[in-house]
Amino acid sequence: MMIGNKKFDLGKKTYVMGILNVTPDSFSDGGKFNNTDKAIEQARKLIADGADIIDIGGESTRPNYAPISENEEIKRVVPIIQLLVREFDIPISIDTYKSNVAEIAIKNGASLINDVWGFKRDRNMAKVAVKYNVPCCIMHNRENAVYNNLMEDIIIDLNESIEIAIEAGVKPENIIIDPGIGFAKNHEENLRVMNELEKIIAMGYSVLLGTSRKSMIGNVLKLPVNERVEGTVATTVIGIMKGCDFVRVHDVLENKRAAMMTDAIIRPRSEI
């Protein structure tokens, strides 16, 4: 898979997506990086710590978040993308469910769409992915968090999103799916999805896992957001062992090290 000018050799290693929230109200690091200097400084740290992609979000997706206008979101993310493109040679992902935001972000240097509504909130999103021939991460989400059969329903929902993408002309090799830990799922459901990730892997697409610092970890460990690194690392290792290709995290250094160690044990190697 090509993301920007970088080749991602899926199956050979795990890739780490570093989170850069330029929002004042993110659940984890709200307000810490929503000015240009701090955002660039954090991006520099994510890259030094081993990030393979930087994921930029301008609107919080935490529970009970306050939606913002397209213009406000664009004003938050575009200056940061422009500066990152100028200073670093790393693929940039735009974390948005709004097609206009995605298109402007791509025009300014982003090369991956990360849509938490799986192309269902804004149907033009798939057209943008096709127009610019960029890969897209399609996440599981739904308005009505009531399931008849949790894993079957998640797979049905994800297949609906994939169908939207394919019908618009997105190449299958440009699709990454995300089981949506923490979205439209309660605590027990999140744990079950983690335990049965192989069912998502079996759908045949690259899989991104996003568990970083989420309430699932906080609930188990009884710890605040800033003390969930070890819990996140545990989910990263399990995700890799189940077959995930990407992990999306705040704490890149710790998760990159855990990913490298896990890869060394479980990924096929040409020489021993």
Which residues are identified as catalytic? 214, 248
What tokens were used for 3? 């993301």
Cβ pair 202, 170 in contact under 8 A:
no
Q: How far apart are CA 116 and CA 140, in angstroms?
A: 7
Give the 3-state secondary structure of residue 183: coil
Q: How far apart are CA 258 and CA 255, in angstroms?
A: 5
64's CB contacts (< 8 A; 6+ apart) are none
Instruction: Give 141: exposed, middle or buried? Use CB within 10 Å, 0-12, 13-18, 19+.
Output: buried
CA-based torsion, 97, 99, 100, 101: positive or negative: positive
The number of angstroms, rounded, from the C-alpha of 221 to the middle of its chain's C-alpha atoms is 23
Cβ pair 77, 85 in contact under 8 A:
no
User: Helices in the chain by DSSP H: which ranges?
Assistant: 36-48, 70-87, 99-107, 124-131, 150-168, 187-195, 197-201, 215-221, 229-242, 252-266
Q: How far apart are CA 260 and CA 271, in angstroms?
A: 16
Q: What is the DSSP letter of 148?
A: S
